[in-house]
Amino acid sequence: MRRSVSERVVFTLKKSYLFPTYNKFPITLVKGSKTTLWDDEGKSYLDCMSGLAVCNLGHVPDRVKLRIQEQLEQVWHVSNLFHIKAQEDLAEKLVTISCADLVFFCNSGAEANEAAFKCARRYHQRVHGNERYEIITFEQSFHGRTLATLTATGQEKVKDGYYPLPKGFLYARYNDIQSVRSKITGKTAAIMLELVQGESGVHLSEPEFVQELAKLCKDKGILLIVDEVQTGIGRTGSMFAYEHYGIEPDIITLAKGLASGLPIGAMMGKEKLREAFSEGSHASTFGGSPLSTVAGLATIETLMEHGLIERAKKAGAYAQDKLENELKQFPIIRAIRGLGLLIGIEITEPVTPIIQKLHQNRLLVLSGGTHVIRFMPSLYITNDEIDQAVLILSNVLRELEGITN
């Protein structure tokens, strides 16, 4: 419902009872369809955020909506002490389309990564009887906000005020195999890698580095964990980003795009890990609920039947070419990089005021670090919509340069 001016002022000034943990944009979004969002004033926006790479099918996708509506009339929650058909079906589907053999469901990417840490440690300590517990991650990485996952994150800003942190995490330089070798000890249980570091600025793993890392893990008996929380479910132009690199991780973590906006996370692993995650070793009250898993199954089916993965690959290539051709005229553009529809535009100055201006011009994007704009639209985005987004960005940069010059 459209609010009057007085109602909007009151709403804006009203005291919030939420902890102020988010620096929220001054927009209230109330409706969405495909790549378009509308605010409470009726303004429409071209959405190139996708709810932080969550709404890969766009907003309110038909098949997912229908499955959720059907499930709402049946049962919402029964707990994991009972068999849940949709959970089994989604697990089977994920195994079929990946290199994994087993799935554990939870509620978020952070929980999926927590499960991966626990599974890796227990695999070594209970299955192999050794004392390995250390996890190597990478500088600039991002793996979540729980105590263990923020400790695993290779960015100091997320750790401020949370000391002492859990022990057992070490950080290597990204794309530097010698740095990884220098961190390995007799206590190394696993190495966790994002193939595209999204939150810190869309940095891509180099193929040779990934191949060497996979071989190193195999030779040393170290588990390789690939964090696909942001890159999975078609975002990069393949179902999973690891497919671009010709490797098979021991553990894969998923979340964001898996259920088109319903909370879900998944840790997927090889058969050899079955004994490590045996009865009573881990649990999640809400993980793999009937609602989230029917949404996940409908999401995967839509991706595969509508050819959206190939579409993401082609749209991503088109978007990068368009951005490079149109933005090369601006001296403040430092680099454009990405994989599929996960694209970073690096700028020589802080992007916060630019993003604010883009939002005012009805284009929704977000930052990746202080100097990168992240472009993560729905996999349904058309070339015309990409052209529209690039035009808005060009106009804003032109206006900015006119002011600064």
Rounded-to-integer distance, Cα 327 and Cα 335, Å: 10
Report the Cα 110 to chain-centroid distance in Å: 10
The residue-averaged pLDDT of 376-382 equals 98
Q: Cα–Cα distance between 352 and 202 in angstroms, integer? A: 17
Q: Locate tokens 């990069």: which residue?
A: 236
Please, which pLDDT band fits residue 405 given cuts at 50, 70 and 90? Answer: very low
Cross-strand partners of 346: 335, 372
Domains within the chain, CATH numbers bracketed: 5-60+308-404 (3.90.1150.10), 75-305 (3.40.640.10)
Supply the pLDDT for residue 3: 55
Q: How far apart are CA 66 and CA 197, in angstroms?
A: 34
4, pLDDT greater than 70: no
63 touches 260 (CB < 8 A): no
> Per residue in 52-62, pLDDT tens?
999 999 999 99
Quick check: helix, strand or coil at residue 93? helix
What was the pLDDT predicted at 7? 54
Average pLDDT over residues 108-127: 98
Q: Over pLDDT 90: what percentage of the chain?
A: 95
Q: Three-state DSSP class for 135?
A: strand
The whole-model pTM stands at 0.95
Percent of the chain exceeding pLDDT 70 equals: 96
Amino acid 404: pLDDT: 47
Residues facing residue 268 across a β-bridge: 103, 252
Instruction: Count the residues in the chain.
Output: 405
Radius of gyration of the chain (CA): 22
Name which residue leads in pLDDT, 173 or 11: 173
Task: Give the DSSP per-residue string, 35-73.
Answer: TEEEETTS-EEEESSHHHHT-TT-BS-HHHHHHHHHHHT
> What is the per-residue pLDDT across 221-258, written as a single tens digit (0 to 9) for each?
999 999 999 999 999 999 999 999 999 999 999 999 99
pLDDT grade, residue 12 (50/70/90)?
Answer: low
N-to-C CA span, the chain: 43
Q: CA 58, CA 18: separation in Å to the nearest integer?
A: 28
Q: Which amino acid is at 179?
A: S
Strand partners, 44: 38
- Beta strand 169-172 with 134-138: parallel, antiparallel or unpaired? parallel
Q: What is the mean pLDDT of the chain?
A: 95
Dist CA 13 CA 61 (whole Å): 34
Q: Average pLDDT in the 373-381 region?
A: 98
Q: Note the pLDDT of residue 308.
A: 97
How large is the average pLDDT for residues 83-97?
Answer: 98
Residue at 390: amino acid letter = V
